[in-house]
Structure 1
């Protein structure tokens, strides 16, 4: 039974270490996405063009 308590304590300590490492990495910007905004900028124009073309087509059909 003492082995279970020891393993439980060790697993909680390891989990807390991983939690601290995760929080530190998030605060340091490890998971910031610097690629998507530059690519999103390229696709926004195509979405606006398709929306304006749809509105032109709808206006011509009326």
Structure 2
């Protein structure tokens, strides 16, 4: 029964260590995406082309 307490304690410690490593990585900017914004401008035209626009009717006398 004491093995369960030891394994539970070790697993909680490992979980807390990984959580602090994750928080440190987020604060350092490791998960910031610097590639997508530079490429997004290349694909914006495709979104505009998919919209349908109504033709403008003008009356000329």
Q: Give the shorter-chain TM-score range.
A: 0.7 to 0.9
Q: Normalized against structure 1, the TM-score is what?
A: 0.78
Aligned to 1:30: 30
CA RMSD of aligned residues (A): 1.7
Determine the C-alpha separation between the residues in 2 that align with 1:2 and 1:13: 17
Unmatched segments (≥5 aa) in structure 2? none
Gaps of 5+ in 1: none
In 2, the alpha carbon distance for the partners of 1:13 and 1:21 equals 12
Q: How many residues align?
A: 56
Q: Offset of 1:60 from its aligned partner?
A: 5.8
2:55 is aligned to 59
Q: Which residue does the alignment assign to 2:17?
A: 17
Give the deviation of 1:41 after TM superposition: 1.2
Q: Whose helix proportion is higher, 1 or 2?
A: 1
* TM-score normalised per structure 2: 0.79
